């Protein structure tokens, strides 16, 4: 349970720095939004809810994070724990965003001495700059 909460906290983190791709703490991964692959960069050391879209000046601002966290034993392949979670993220007024919201999916895997962490995620948010 504590590991799941730590993972959720890490994934709710984003990056607001001007050069996230070259940050020593940057994690670069792909999310799939409406069938389109989008490469994003996130710094897991801060609590922002923004990931930067690589090779653009745009961002993806998260409003909801949900998924399943699984820890698998590296030797036996046995599932040690699996937990579903839903987290509304971000602060402030969300009124008026409904037309701009996009849902994206990704699966992230992290190797750890305790096992393999797999996160099957669905994130909802909006891209900036917003259109229309």
- HEC readout, 49-108: CEEEECCCCCEEEEEEEEEEEEEECCCCCCEEEEEEEEEECCCCCCCCCHHHCEEEEEEE
**Whether 104 contacts 60, CB under 8 Å:** yes
28 touches 53 (CB < 8 A) = no
pLDDT digits (tens, 9 = 90+) for 82-107: 999 998 876 655 666 767 889 999 99
Domain ranges of the chain: 2-128
pLDDT digits (tens, 9 = 90+) for 20-79: 566 677 889 999 999 999 999 987 666 668 889 999 999 998 888 999 999 999 899 999
């Amino acid at each position: 349970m504590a590991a799941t909460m730590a993972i959720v906290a890490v994934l709710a983190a984003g990056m607001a720095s001007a050069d996230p791709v070259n940050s020593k703490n940057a994690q670069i991964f792909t999310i799939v939004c409406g069938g389109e692959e989008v490469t994003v960069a996130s710094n897991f050391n801060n609590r922002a809810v923004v990931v930067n879209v690589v090779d653009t000046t745009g961002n993806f601002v998260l409003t909801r994070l949900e998924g399943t966290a699984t820890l698998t034993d590296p030797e036996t392949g046995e599932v040690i724990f699996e937990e579903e979670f839903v987290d509304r993220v971000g602060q402030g007024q969300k009124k008026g965003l409904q037309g701009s919201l996009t849902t994206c999916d990704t699966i992230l895997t992290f190797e750890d001495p305790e096992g393999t962490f797999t996160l099957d995620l669905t994130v909802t948010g909006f891209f900036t700059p917003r259109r229309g």
